[in-house]
Structure 1
């Protein structure tokens, strides 16, 4: 029997996640717990989440105005397509035996470092795109390879880490980095989606319901926020809120477990 309350919750939660993903990232912090709330186990939720991700990224890219700047930034993304896709395929296929506690501490620590940088050194994040910096170095290529691997395996927090590499290492403006992020996230989602789909791990009813919400939220965000004149400042503020939520999500189970002992 279909529970309409669950389906409505998936659409609304998906809309919020799609909007957040377009502006900053980490919308999976909403969708993964939501999918588990409706009764999916963690692995099925992780697989089903890819349906919403595919629809969301497709909607965001198709909604971007085809301005000269957008076309230029998409061309700038070509260099990092191969490391992101290679990493995503490997990450989606490999079952890595990393203790959850270690992974949570590592990701949470990275998020804290990013938050400190955003709060106390905002100038690093509010730069214009620096055309004098060589953005095709082996160091940057390897950073995006690692990011693709992470995104294929977990996905949660991919947008935040993509913006971090693009702004802090490659010296792109937040607004430009966001355009690249949407294009790359779309490409990266395709192989991961088919790997999970062919494995039979996806719950299609919940996945397509979630996708209706994520696609709508992404379309709204792409049309109203990404190309806004104050997009850099808006993205920075949303990024702060999203990173705070991510830090809480990473450390909350560890804190509860510690005090329960």
Structure 2
């Protein structure tokens, strides 16, 4: 799909950086930041399917920044993160390959239903709290199998991916929300690289637009990682609640 050349003016750049910063912060803290960045690109004249692929540049930059921020702060679980990401990658590649066949109306309805289910799941039974010592993960087999399906969604559209990963890591595998976010940004970063390669070889990507957006996403990702470490589970749950509720309203009433 070929897009008309997009002439970037100063306000275009400011809009991309601003949207990226907000989206990156929300993505690292909870999820759903792409519901901001993708529409902004479309508003600026980027076709929807191309915006979907271009958005992966910013997602990759944001998660690299978040992973490095967690690592410099002494928080990392690379062994488990890598094995989970390895399961997500095949699903992400498959999802990216079929992403161009997306039916917007069906997608919006399905995503809204998923968000309602996740909202109920995250608000009932209580999320696992931060403890002085890391609690060993449970249900490793189920967690890894679910990553394959989660990866498909991430490769397919990416929007709302955090809302899918967090229940798997928090509720299924029993990880506290801070540790969940540490794993989440690593997993998303790794499978996004694979999905970006698929989009780059099968469709058009606007690299300059994606690069500008990535500046904002990286800043937002850094701030999100620092706030995760500083405020922990309480702030994550609040941001998650607001982000999911806003996405449900957007999908059901403003599409």
Aligned match for 1:61, one of 38, 48, 67: 67
Q: Any unmatched runs of 5+ in structure 1?
A: 255-261
- 1:199 matched to 2:202? The reply is yes
Query: Counterpart in 2 of 1:18?
Result: 24
Q: CA deviation at 1:18?
A: 0.9
Q: 1:153 to 1:114 in 2, by over 3 A?
A: same
TM-score normalised by structure 2 residue count: 0.89
Query: Counterpart in 2 of 1:238?
Result: 239
Superposed counterparts of 1:163-202, under 5 Å: 163-202=166-205
CA deviations over 1:187-224 (Å, ceiling 9, x no partner):
011111122223351112211111111111112222x2
Q: CA deviation at 1:52?
A: 0.8
Query: Counterpart in 2 of 1:226?
Result: 228
TM-score normalised by structure 1 residue count: 0.87
Whole-angstrom distance in 2 between the partners of 1:117 and 1:150: 19
Whole-angstrom distance in 1 between the partners of 2:130 and 2:106: 33
Whole-angstrom distance in 2 between the partners of 1:4 and 1:11: 11
C-alpha contact 2:127 2:176 (8 A) present in aligned 1: no
C-alpha contact 2:130 2:178 (8 A) present in aligned 1: no
Q: 1:225 to 1:105 in 2, by over 3 A?
A: same
Q: CA deviation at 1:104?
A: 2.1
Q: CA deviation at 1:65?
A: 3.7
Structural RMSD (CA) = 2.1
Runs of 4+ that moved beyond 6 A? none
Query: Counterpart in 2 of 1:92?
Result: 96
Q: Any unmatched runs of 5+ in structure 2?
A: 1-6
Aligned match for 1:151, one of 150, 154, 172: 154
C-alpha contact 1:79 1:136 (8 A) present in aligned 2: no
Query: Counterpart in 1 of 2:250?
Result: 249
